[in-house]
Structure 1
Amino acid sequence: MPQPNQIGYAAMSVCQIFSFRKKELLFFSVNSYGLNGMGLQSIELYYQMPKELINEATYICVLNACSHSGLVNEALSIFKTIEIETQRIYTTIIDCLSRALFFEEAQKLMEEFERLHIPALPMYPSATVLLANVDGSSGHIDKASDIKTQLYQSDTKKRIGLAWTVTNRQVYQFRAHDRSHPRSHEIKAELEKIANELIDHGHVFDAILCGHSEKIAIAWNFVVNPHTSKIQVTKNLRVCGDCHRATKLIAAIRQCEIIVSDANRIHHFYTNGQCSCNDYF
């Protein structure tokens, strides 16, 4: 059964899980606020938690909430109070700094982690890519290229983009550039129709007819119900910039609220063409 934070309703978190134990309730709420871009509420709740209930997962949730709300100073303040700074905690605070374009500070933390953890622990693929992007943005092009080359030569595999949506009480799964659905020709036609509408409204694609899984899932919803007023999609990867801009416009053109839960947060795309993340993702 989907949890409230998974389907995009942060307000449900407290009122529907009152029977949880205190630790589970507080942790769930901190995480739920963060996923829905309510960073200040997440921080406020974090500071109300008894110290004995706070663990690595709690730190990661509140730092992630800061990361997706641009609350860099708040994140650094919390980070300085953490006694045991694990690799996952370092990765989260570095993500926060990088999103806010504090690349030099992010680089310093990476170097600090490497000094304190010799030999360095293997980085998560996302953290490795983040490191390369920080180096590239800081002008260290050769270093960034070396890191990406090492990643590609390793056994690390990039996950395939998957998206799930429910229509007529049935769950459908789509992958990037999916053509396996029995009605794929209708989905393709809908994607082309959507693309033309986007172009007419001034959208410029990063790639020709980007075939990411969430776009296919959205198109399928319109195939099944052309006049739907709400679409919900869950995705296993972070939504890309092109899909984010396109989905905002789709919601406005079709006057359909679209909720996309990606690997990092929950995006509410409203019919006025805005997203709950305020384009900070």
Structure 2
Amino acid sequence: MDEQTLAREFTAAVRTEPPLGFDPDEVVTRVARRRHRRRAILLACAGVVVAAAAAAVAIPGPEVQAPPASPAVSPRIKPSAGERLWPPGNGDVPQPTDARISARAPQLADHLEAVLRKTMPPADRIRRDTVNSGHYGGIMPTSQRGVSITEHGGPEESGYYLTVDVYVPTNPVKRFRPLELCAEMKIQISPSTTCRYADVDTGGILMTTEEDTTDREGTLQHGISATYFRADGTYVLVSLGGTVGVIRPLPLTAEELATLARDPGLTL
């Protein structure tokens, strides 16, 4: 089982309920399929078990135009203690159709690669690894729907993996505070996990995390993630990790991942 894949699935499950029952065979089967298809993304974490439903590979649907980008107005970002409840309101989040999500998957992947080509060194040779869309589960009781994109940069056998997930939680959504999610990550992923929070405008939250863990080959790995919980109830999770058994500096900082997570083009 690929520990790093499981870590990313945990981070994507932004709920405050304790872990519920699940079928371990389903988890093993899903991870085995992903490993057979490609080397899985790494997030430097060992031994986290989640109940993650397999995602359907994106099938291009009817042409759907991307939402217009918001005006270039800098949001008000204020450091916080992670105590703001999310999502705003009563936890009822508008749900896009499955056709909409499927059609947006390749568009989001193209947009992400255009952004990365402008920001990453040419030597990193960013290339697409996987693009998935569908329904996703996690260790928490409610699931999420959306698009997951993994990009591979650097050498084939020793590079890094950047995953961008654009999700909407399914209703009814259990509201939570980011500090509660961080506390669970310290238990489920690594006690070394550090979290920083910022309130963004009215209702948005930005959370960045970093952790050091030992991968399955005994190599100490550093993982970074940034999650932008938007005021509209959707969220973007950007995760960065290296290759199992390889010590290599990561090419982006937590602040740079946070900037990417706030990209207005990463919307469903």
Structure having the higher strand fraction is 2
- Please indicate the TM-score interval, normalised by the length of the shorter structure: under 0.3
| Larger RCO (CA under 8 A, 6+ residues apart) | 2
Structure having the higher helix fraction is 1
